[in-house]
Chain A
Amino acid sequence: MIRLLLLTALLVLSCELHAAQTVVVGSKKFTESYVLAEIAKRKLTQSGFDVVHKQGMGGTIILWQAIKGGDIDFYPEYTGTIVEEILKSRAKLTSADMRRELRRFKIGMTEELGFNNTYALVMRREQAKKLGIESISDLRKHPDLQVGLTHEFLNRQDGWGPLSRRYNLHMANVRGVEHTIGYSALANGSLDVKDAYSTDAKIAEYNLIVLKDDLGFFPQYKAVFLYRLSAPEKAIQTVESLSGTISEEKMIQLNAEAERTKNYARAAGLYFAGDHTGNVADLQPSVASQIGHWTLQHLRLVGISLILAVIAGIPLGIAASRPGPLSQTILGVTGVVQTIPSLALLAVLVPLMGIKPQTAILALFLYSLLPIVRNTASGLQDIPTPLRESASALGLEPLACLRKVLLPMASRSILAGIKTSAVINVGTATLAALIGAGGLGTPIISGLDLADAGLIMQGALPAAALALIVQWAFDFCDRYLIPKGLRLQRAI
């Protein structure tokens, strides 16, 4: 009896848990965005929501499309980006202005989280102290310092040229240096001043200080969260509660932890330090289950697109096997689709369809068509004329003739086309991660952005293995799908 009660209680409890609302948090493809999204995820989880974090979905445009389209509910953004890239405003907008403009898209904006991630000039802490430099204005007294700037910063509208005019700087030694090399040069003393993002993890790592922008030259890139106004009220309040709680030092520290460990949940955990409501390790899924999850997503993308390509490709191939303008059109169009770089194809489809797995499936479908169409057409065309005539002379209806005689005779070629499509598809599907459709491309693309070979391998190795398995699976299926008579023909 007690057992029964316990069971019922458990059932009710689990129903309760399943009833929790799901909210989706997105992030851009860089460390800080990942960490902020993880913080929001943890906070929302504590408030009782089921939270999905779509990691590293892409750049501003993609995230903006995703939140507008309802694919995600929250993502971290910066005020400067909202004004310039999203609202495309040339005027200076106040927070109230921004909120009003965003409301037109049914999007809301939290209060500032507490830090500003903008361009900054940095120096070694002890040298700045020695020379008495605290702000950019102070550089005027030291025109002989070695300045190394990224090429982008040298040429930007809000970069070095306008900056030095504004501050009336006349630095004698300014040169362009690659970002990472610039940090090493700064650390070993061959540079004294360089440009940086104000929350760059390297600032803590190399013990640098950010020079105060005392004339307010740099645009403000204050971190906020954007959210859908239709998101659950409690979820919005939860994310809103993060505002004013992350200082620049804190963010630098979190970024440094994330880059050191490559574990964003753990870095986010630092934010909650002293808050013992959850175990970080519990929140980070194991590598194996992650890979399993990505592989399933990958198989879903490949499987659906391939099935659609077979359904559409075989009839198209049959039409293309008959001489005439239709054949040339079909082979021409599918051929052209194949030559479009996959990234370009995704870029064309995203504005039309938005950020969702269906977009990736459509792109993969289009890529899968050509091998199937071409092999179906050539398989049918390769049937010797006497056999084709024998088939016609039997008096079979055209469809029955195709189904019972011609298609089985072309089956080897058609299956080879499907196999080619499937194997190519497994590779191309890694690009689906670029538009947040998941799959094994997710760790590859994150790994590339973070220069983390281990993470890349978590996607690349299973993808390669999957391609081999698909190849074997098809070779195995050949035995059942290619009629015995044709297999004997090959063997003899």
Chain B
Amino acid sequence: MAAIIELRGASKTFDDTPALHPTDLTFERSRTTALIGPSGCGKSTLLRLIVGLLSPSAGDVLFEGERLSDDNLLQIRRRMGYVIQDGGLFPHLSARQNVMLMPNHLHLDSAEMKQRLGELCELTHLPEDALERYPVELSGGQRQRVSLMRALMLKPDVLLLDEPLAALDPLVRTSLQTQLKEIFQRLRQTVIMVTHDMAEAAYLADTIVLLDSGRIVQSGSFQDLRERPAAPFVSEFISAQRALVQI
């Protein structure tokens, strides 16, 4: 299957400190990839390079084989959905206005968009009356659902999630994990997510990319990582996140 996003020797350095060493990585369609690792491992830098919020110090980031540049950035971003930790909803807009911001800006067919909004409410389990509320009036879980709706509104080719569930309490988080998995499967969505929770990655992702100190340590399924660790760090990282049943 063709890669939708590809990193070719892409690296990022901040003031002589490398955040990401030259990296080759491909993301395939309809698959969920989790970028995981300890704080400062370069996973968020990698995601920012893909959205074009950062430009690589060396190497290239390609979207469908096209190099990300100032000329195509806006168009490519409209084909991506981006969700951050606490939702990134704009406080001056209601939930509906947040979700409809881009469709309205692009003057997309309103009847079609209205229908899409209804579908997404159903898909994300957001009660429709919550759409009229402002971000500050929504719960943490609702904010993430609205943010997800905003990201999915234009039917993006790829959904990018930066620790989307990290700020939620465990109950909400678990139920959202279940729902996310459902959504990803129903939409056959290409997903790239950053997380620091191995259990979440194992549950949601087809491929796990484990990073440490700006380098990829191992990339593969959870089984691969657990059973055939490429380095002692891999086993260390997996076992550090002990499950309660082990206590």
Contact = CB atoms under 8 A, between A and B. Distances in A.
Contacts of B74: 395-397
A345 B118 CA distance: 61
A483 B77 contact: no
Interface string B73-89: 11111101010111011
Chain B interface bracket (under 10, 10 to 19, 20 to 34, 35 or more)? 20 to 34
A395 B75 contact: yes
Contacts of B136: 485, 488-489, 492
Contacts, number: 78
Given A489-B91, A489-B136, A404 B105 contact: yes
Interface string A368-399: 00000000000000000011011111111100
A390 B84 contact: yes
Contacts of A387: 88, 90
B102 A395 contact: yes
B107 interface: no
B80 A393 contact: yes
A12 interface: no
A148 to B, nearest CB: 72
Given A404-B105, A489-B136, A409 B92 contact: yes
Given A395-B77, A397-B74, A485 B105 contact: no
A388 to B, nearest CB: 9
B170 to A, nearest CB: 23
Nearest to B154: A395
B82 A486 contact: no
A488 B48 CA distance: 31
A484 B91 CA distance: 9
Contact of B92 (A389, A392, A394, A486): A486
Contacts of A395: 73-78, 80, 102
B135 interface: yes
Given A386-B84, A488-B134, A409 B105 contact: no
Contacts of B137: 488, 492
Contacts of A390: 82, 84, 88-90
A19 B236 CA distance: 97
Contacts of B101: 394, 396, 404-405
B123 interface: no
Nearest to B54: A389
B51 interface: yes
B77 A394 contact: yes
B82 A485 contact: no
B93 interface: yes
B50 to A, nearest CB: 10
A294 B156 CA distance: 62
A396 B98 CA distance: 13
A485 B94 contact: yes
Most chain-A CB neighbours within 10 Å: which of B48, B82, B91, B134? B91
B75 A389 contact: no
A320 B75 CA distance: 28
Contacts of A486: 91-92
B53 interface: yes
A65 to B, nearest CB: 50
Contacts of B94: 485
Interface of A: 386-387, 389-397, 400, 404-405, 408-409, 411, 483-486, 488-489, 492
15 contacts: A386-B84, A387-B88, A390-B88, A391-B90, A394-B77, A394-B78, A395-B73, A409-B92, A484-B92, A484-B134, A485-B90, A485-B91, A485-B93, A485-B136, A488-B134
- 9 smallest CB-CB distances across A and B, nearest first, come from A390-B88, A395-B77, A483-B92, A485-B134, A393-B82, A395-B78, A408-B92, A485-B92, A489-B136
